[in-house]
Amino acid sequence: MVVLNRFLFFIISSVFFMSCEKTKLSPNDYVNWVEDNDNGLNVSKDFKGISFHVLYKPVNYIVAKEFLNGGVKKNETGKRITELGNMQYVTLRINVSNSNEVLGANLKSQNEYYERLEYYMNNIQDDLMLIEDKDTLPCLLSHFERNYGLAPYNDIVLAFGESINKSADKLIVFNDRVFGTGPVMLKINNKNLKNAPSVSWN
């Protein structure tokens, strides 16, 4: 009877352990998982032809993208993860439906084009924050990716400080000053981050 109970305990413990272990995906499949709208790390809001998208990028996602692009070798992934540290990385995409570029949409003057460029390149991070419950993290870094009218959107790569409340949802707030939409709020549910798989570098 004791042997049977030990055997049953071993089986139940093994099943519980396997159910708690995260799924491991190849770098390519992991990137696709993060970018899939159904998995909750890629969210958006629309405002009369202007849409704002937020992609929350776990460090593994950044390294997987670099690995797939040839920028990081397999034996360098651990070092690269350490280099990126505990900051939180986000890409904000602004999309305009009635123009072939964000900088040139709904312009009132040519000078406004250069004012927008200056704002997106140098001042936008002052209008961004990441809220975790009662904690507000400022935007520490921003990088505006110009595409010179080749796409109706622009990406701004952002970095926020280390998460203080690991169990809180993440609310990215952008006080849009260009298109007058007011504060744009996009939420990443913490449960979606917890459900994220891990990466197999083999």
3-state secondary structure of 184: strand
pLDDT recorded at residue 83: 96
In the chain, where are the structural domains located? 23-195
pLDDT recorded at residue 48: 83
Closest CA to 190 of 174, 159, 172, 167: 167
pLDDT recorded at residue 6: 55
For the chain, residues with pLDDT lower than 70 are 1-22
As a whole number of angstroms, the distance between CA 139 and CA 136 comes to: 10
pLDDT recorded at residue 13: 43
pLDDT recorded at residue 180: 85
pLDDT recorded at residue 181: 87
